[in-house]
């Protein structure tokens, strides 16, 4: 069902903080630094189509400066011309129809051809990139003039391309890649030694920095890498490919996991007294830490189960359970086992489906991801998305509360396996026990649920001592716990023993009543409970009786018949008993 999915870093996208949210889930001080645009289940578009996805397409084409018309949601001639321009720039057949291949380009790292006289944010990005590579030393103005033309021409010459001075799509694709040739140094030039920092850098950890991050923290990392001899580019406040490559090289040399991002461990190593320089003997890489978690997405029950390793290093320790919203029957979540790549984003935007945002996005595969419930394009909470938690609702992604999405974002890294399946046994009790707390609209999050109390010890021979009462859906307590445990023992109850009477318990009680000619319709009436208690005590007494040994028959001791077991002492059987 999944046709297309593309995730693209959108740099410098500022999203406003939601009212009250910072009280419990703090937002980035400068807004999200690594927001992504997500397109999944895209509809191919053509002339005369209408709808929110056409609006999203027009909006994206305007951002790329291919389209300067109004955002109407109507796919007419002007939109068609803009799509044709994209197709021509990328060497596709210029049909003007936004097929899936074209949409992948538009919502991806799409570039418009640039030349002398052009202006815009994409020209600024071009000048910044040329500056990082050492080709451009002028002002980053956003105006494509002689200096930019010369820089592009030199870049093209060094990289075996036609030296036109025009930044066409192939030139920009090469420029923003890692597959580039650097400027040829002047052999007569004397290398300028890197001076030590004039003042001690601010070494307070600013939070995780990764590709797409911007700000003072990035500048500090670049200056420290430059000082240590790992970074030889112009210091900026943007974390892009060369910063990422320098960080990876530093991590390899200093025995760290080389993921190219600056977490707390890498940050501390950058400023450590025993830092390893590029020409020193590399520090041994530590033994890899075993993957700590395994994730089960139980579509039947709309639950996510997090397992930890047990003493035998197997994933049997059920650690956490989250309520989720998976894909609808029309757009199901991808069944199978997937390995996380470690790709995450603080915010995600979904233009294909009329805009909207979500927090704490963690990629599962090329089609789906974990993320929070949705916000509208105006950044207001989508209450329908909140209220649908626990039911199928998405276009394949796994929606969660903010707290649960954040836990996954913070704790499930590269290599964690996620098993999505639809064939789980329905377990209403487990689902009810792990439903989210009430939603606090002022704070924008779900209220915390109380920690569960320790489960009582079950003993079939010791029936509940509390006052006998009829049990039904909504009942809770030790008598419900005993009832579920006993029915499970008899093979009638397949769910989780929670002490909460839900539909699974009702169905098991109904089966017991049918087998024993009792009434109640699935409610555990006093008569049903008395029958269960009597059966359990009779079974316990029968189990406690010693088993007679074999008799030795002699001529002197006449054999007497064995006593007939009385009905009172026999076990009460149910159909399909244990």
Cβ neighbors of 299 (< 8 A, separation 6 or more) are 326, 332, 333, 335, 392, 420, 421, 422, 424
pLDDT in tens, 89-144: 998 999 999 987 888 788 777 889 999 999 988 899 899 889 888 899 888 899 99
> Which contacts (CB < 8 Å, 24+ apart) does range 140-143 have?
143/119
Q: What band does 152 get if pLDDT is binned at 50, 70 and 90? A: very high
Q: Measured between alpha carbons, how far is 178 from 298 in angstroms, rounded to an integer?
A: 40
Structure tokens at 234: 């112009």
Average pLDDT of span 343-362: 82
Phi, psi torsion values for 370, nearest 5 degrees? -85, 140
- The architecture of the domain spanning 293-446 is Beta Barrel (2.40)
For the record, the structure tokens of 35 come out as 């927001």
**Does 18 score more than 90 pLDDT?**
no
Q: How confident is the model at residue 200 (pLDDT cuts 50, 70, 90)?
A: low
Angle 128-224-8 from CA coordinates, rounded to 5°? 40
CB burial of residue 501 (10 Å; 0-12, 13-18, 19+): buried
SS3 78: helix
pLDDT at 573: 31
pLDDT of residue 352: 64
User: Rounded to 5 degrees, what are φ and ψ at 421?
Assistant: -145, 155
| Least confident stretch, 29-38, 118-127, 155-164, 244-253 | 29-38
Report the distance separating Cα 523 and Cα 84, nearest Å: 66
For domain 121-175, the question of CATH label 1.10.101.10 is answered with yes
Class for the domain spanning 478-540:
mainly alpha
What pLDDT band is residue 197 in, cutting at 50, 70 and 90?
low
pTM of the model: 0.59
Q: Please, which pLDDT band fits residue 490 given cuts at 50, 70 and 90? A: very high
pLDDT surpassing 60 at residue 301: yes
Predicted local confidence at residue 558, as pLDDT: 43
User: What's the token pair of residue 58?
Assistant: 């027009």
Residue 234 confidence class, pLDDT cut points 50, 70, 90: confident
Asked if 350 contacts 330 with a C-beta cutoff of 8 angstroms, the reply is: no
Instruction: Give yes or no for a contact between 38 and 350, defined as CB atoms under 8 angstroms apart.
Output: yes
**Taking the domains of the chain in order of start, what are their residue ranges?**
121-175, 293-446, 478-540
What's the whole-number average pLDDT of the chain?
83
Q: Is the confidence at residue 388, as pLDDT, over 70?
A: yes
Give per-residue pLDDT as tens, 428-462.
Answer: 999 999 999 999 998 999 998 877 778 889 999 89
pLDDT of 377 higher than 90? no
Other beta carbons less than 10 A from residue 356's beta carbon: 20
Least confident of 13-27, 37-51, 261-275: 13-27
User: Would you state the structure tokens that stand for residue 532, as one six-digit string?
Assistant: 């269960």
Cβ atoms 149, 165 nearer than 8 A: yes
Question: Are domains 293-446 and 478-540 of this chain identical in fold?
Answer: no
Which of 461, 456, 467, 512 shows the shortest CA–CA distance to 488?
512
Question: Smallest Cα–Cα separation from 204: which of 268, 299, 138, 142?
Answer: 268
- Give the β-pairing of 36-40 and 344-349: parallel
């Amino acid at each position: 069902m999944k046709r297309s999915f593309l995730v693209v870093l959108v740099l410098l996208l500022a999203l406003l903080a939601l009212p009250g949210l910072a009280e419990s889930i703090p937002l980035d001080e400068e807004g999200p630094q690594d927001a992504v645009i997500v397109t999944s289940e895209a509809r191919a578009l053509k002339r005369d189509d209408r709808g929110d996805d056409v609006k999203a397409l027009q909006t994206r084409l305007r951002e790329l400066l291919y389209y300067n018309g109004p955002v109407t949601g109507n796919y007419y001639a002007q939109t068609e011309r803009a799509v044709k321009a994209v197709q021509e720039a990328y060497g596709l057949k210029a049909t003007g129809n936004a097929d899936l291949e074209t949409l992948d380009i538009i919502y991806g790292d799409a570039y418009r051809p640039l030349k002398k006289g052009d202006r815009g944010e994409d020209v600024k990005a071009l000048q910044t990139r040329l500056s990082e590579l050492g080709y451009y030393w002028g002002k980053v103005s956003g105006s494509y003039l002689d200096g930019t033309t010369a820089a592009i021409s030199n870049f093209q010459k060094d990289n075996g391309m036609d030296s036109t001075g025009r930044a066409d799509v192939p030139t920009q694709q090469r420029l923003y890649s890692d597959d580039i040739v650097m400027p040829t140094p002047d052999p007569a030039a004397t290398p300028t030694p890197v001076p030590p920092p004039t003042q001690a850098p601010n070494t307070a950890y600013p939070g995780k920095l990764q590709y797409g991050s911007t700000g003072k923290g990035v500048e500090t990392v670049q200056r420290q890498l430059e000082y240590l001899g790992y970074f030889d580019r112009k210091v900026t406040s943007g974390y892009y490919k060369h910063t990422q490559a320098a960080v990876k090289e530093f991590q390899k040399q200093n025995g760290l996991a080389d993921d190219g991002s600056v977490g707390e461990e890498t940050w501390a190593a950058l400023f450590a007294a025993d830092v390893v320089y590029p020409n020193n003997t590399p520090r041994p890489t530590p033994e890899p830490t075993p993957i700590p978690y395994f994730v089960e997405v139980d579509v039947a029950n709309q639950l996510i189960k997090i397992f930890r390793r047990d003493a035998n290093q197997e994933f049997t320790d059920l650690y956490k359970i989250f309520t989720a919203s998976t894909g609808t029957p029309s757009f199901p979540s991808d069944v199978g086992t997937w390995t996380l790549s470690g790709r995450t984003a603080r915010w995600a935007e979904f233009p294909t489906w009329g805009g909207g945002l979500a927090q704490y996005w963690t990629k599962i595969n090329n089609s789906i991801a974990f993320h929070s419930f949705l916000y509208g394009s105006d950044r207001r909470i989508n209450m329908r998305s909140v209220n649908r938690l626990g039911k199928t609702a998405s276009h394949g992604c796994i929606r969660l509360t903010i707290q649960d999405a954040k836990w996954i974002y913070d704790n499930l890294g590269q290599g964690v396996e996620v098993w999505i399946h639809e064939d789980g046994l329905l377990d209403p009790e487990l689902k009810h026990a792990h439903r989210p707390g009430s939603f606090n609209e002022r704070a924008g999050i779900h209220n915390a649920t109380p920690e569960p109390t320790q489960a009582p010890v079950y003993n079939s021979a010791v029936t509940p001592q509390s006052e006998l009462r009829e049990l039904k859906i909504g009942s809770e307590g030790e008598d419900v716990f005993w009832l579920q445990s006993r029915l499970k023992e008899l093979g009638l109850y397949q769910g989780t023993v929670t002490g909460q009477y839900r539909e699974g318990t009702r169905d098991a009680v109904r089966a017991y009543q049918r087998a024993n000619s009792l009434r109640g319709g699935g409610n555990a009436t006093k008569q049903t409970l008395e029958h269960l208690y009597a059966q359990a005590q009779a079974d316990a007494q029968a189990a406690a009786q010693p088993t007679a040994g074999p008799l030795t028959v002699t001529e002197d001791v006449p054999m007497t018949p064995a006593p007939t077991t009385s009905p009172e002492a026999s076990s009460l059987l149910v159909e399909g008993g244990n």
